[in-house]
Amino acid sequence: MKLQKILSNFQKLHPKEIDLSLDRIQNLCKKLGNPQDKIKAISVVGTNGKNSTIQAIYAILKEANLKCNVYTSPHIQKINERFVFNNQELNDEELADLLEEVEKVNNNEPITVFEMLSACFFYKAAQYPDNINLIESGLFHRFDATNILKSNLASIVTSISKDHLDWLPKENQTIEQIVFEKTSALLNSNIVIAKQNKKETMECIKKTIKHNSSNKLFFNEDYSYSIQENGFFYYEDKLGGLKLPLPNVLGQFQLENISTAIATIRTLNLGIQGAEIESGIQKIHNLARLQEIKSGKLKELVKNNTLLVSGDHNPDGARVVNEYLQTLDCNKHIILGMMSNKDHNEYISYFKNISTLTTIDIPNQPNSIGGKDLKNKLNSFKNVQYKEDIFDAIKSISVKKNDVILITGSLYLAGEILNLN
């Protein structure tokens, strides 16, 4: 109750949910003693794969007995997920105390919720100066609240594509501008650039960071991976190769994220051995990223069939999830809920050979599109049906043995599903 009250107060401090500027958080952090200047950080920017890359690094560092602080957004099930210190998520009481302490220092000055949360993370992280901080950038990066560090250990650039275009002026809704927003302000340290889905995107990144004096590693030039037979994949960089077991996460795109994580760790010379990488990638905890639901009320409904939840919500996310689905020799069923500001037809167009499509409402999300309206918009699919909630949606699907049901379209939907289960 105390935590929710504080968060409600945060929402009253600024009329906008997002207001891209660094002034407010810099002023607050100055009052807090500039904690962001006292931490060792790996910054992660991009469109897709940020959280997955962070979780891969985190799993490996923990396996090597290194202490981490982790800041990610948005949260899936509860806000505590955003605040990990010393390898432990803060409980409600600890988080409420932290937010309350920083709120007093802010003294009701205008500031967005994300800026406030970011300041809280920096303030707490500075209490663990030896820890490695894994920090996920919010929107774009150039004017994102996480972009107030003066130095860092490394910056990771994950896959960049078009998303959140409504926060850019119409004339700037180009891949060139998105790349500029995400990479032009990267610090001079190490920059690891993940696989990009289009050649033009990689070229834009190279052009934008051309004058950045960082040590740069590019996927397929400085590090790479290949899938081997018998459940292994092979990672290679200038330090040599590693034969590794396939990880405990689904989808080939996760091998791209894991390879970027390994490249970053090896570049930083943290003394981590191949055995620690091997065991770490078997313990990655990826909420709502092609996550299989293996127990609970929803699993009981699908019985022996596979139930997946994935918060992908943009075309590139749809593309890589579809690539995974196409490796499965079974019927695939999609349950879809999305936010209103997405290109709904483009998103669903990436899914091929789908047996059924069911739209649903996203509970507790006023900015989502209603399931009925979503059904009416999806004119490229025949026989789309609408069900009000996830239980009715699953019950309505006629499944055969070993079929797969995927719930997708929004991280907010994924969170609601996991909480319901």
Domain for residue 302, yes or no? yes
Q: What contacts 125, CB < 8 A, 6 or more positions away?
A: 35, 39, 69, 71, 85, 131, 133
Cβ atoms of 302 and 399 within 8 Å: the answer is: yes
Cβ atoms of 399 and 309 within 8 Å: the answer is: no
pLDDT for res 167: 67
Give yes or no: residues 137 and 223 share one domain. Answer: yes
pLDDT for res 248: 95
Regions in the chain scoring below 70 on pLDDT: 164-167
pLDDT for res 154: 98
State how many domains the chain has.
2
Cα gap 275→281, rounded to integer Å: 10
Hey, how many other C-beta atoms are within 10 angstroms of the C-beta on 287? Answer: 18
Give yes or no: residues 269 and 298 share one domain. Answer: no
The two three-digit tokens of residue 227, written as one number? 């899938």
Cα gap 230→245, rounded to integer Å: 9
Give yes or no: residues 117 and 265 share one domain. Answer: yes
Give yes or no: residues 355 and 225 share one domain. Answer: no
**What CA–CA distances, in Å, run from 17 to 117, 206, 377?**
13, 32, 27
Give yes or no: residues 97 and 118 share one domain. Answer: yes
Q: What contacts 211, CB < 8 A, 6 or more positions away?
A: none
In one-letter notation, the amino acid at residue 37 is D
Cα gap 47→156, rounded to integer Å: 12
Give yes or no: residues 144 and 275 share one domain. Answer: yes
Cα gap 405→391, rounded to integer Å: 13
Domain for residue 286, yes or no? no
pTM: 0.96
Residue 311: CATH number of its domain: 3.90.190.20
Distance of CA 151 to the CA centre of its chain: 23
Domain for residue 285, yes or no? no
Q: What is the side-by-side strand order in the sheet with 240-245?
A: 223-227, 232-237, 240-245
Domain for residue 84, yes or no? yes
- Please, what is the end-to-end C-alpha distance for the chain in angstroms? 23
Hey, how many other C-beta atoms are within 10 angstroms of the C-beta on 349? Answer: 16
Cβ atoms of 115 and 123 within 8 Å: the answer is: no
Compute the C-alpha angle 169/170/172, nearest 5°: 70
pLDDT for res 1: 77
Cα gap 65→71, rounded to integer Å: 19
Show which of 280, 300, 324 is a domain's final residue.
Answer: 280
Closest by CA position to 186, among listed 54, 44, 47: 44
Give yes or no: residues 29 and 135 share one domain. Answer: yes
Show which of 260, 280, 300 is a domain's final residue.
Answer: 280
Distance of CA 171 to the CA centre of its chain: 27
pLDDT for res 19: 81
DSSP, collapsed to helix, strand or coil, labels residue 215 as strand
Give yes or no: residues 254 and 375 share one domain. Answer: no
DSSP, collapsed to helix, strand or coil, labels residue 398 as coil
pLDDT for res 229: 82
Q: Name the region of 323 (left: φ>0; alpha: ψ -120 to 50; beta: rest).
A: alpha
Give yes or no: residues 276 and 339 share one domain. Answer: no
Give yes or no: residues 66 and 98 share one domain. Answer: yes
Domain for residue 99, yes or no? yes
Give yes or no: residues 259 and 300 share one domain. Answer: no
Cβ atoms of 133 and 42 within 8 Å: the answer is: yes
Residue 114: CATH number of its domain: 3.40.1190.10
Cα gap 251→320, rounded to integer Å: 8
Give yes or no: residues 47 and 173 share one domain. Answer: yes
* Residue numbers of the domain that contains 49: 2-280
pLDDT for res 183: 97
pLDDT for res 23: 95
Show which of 241, 259, 280 is a domain's final residue.
Answer: 280
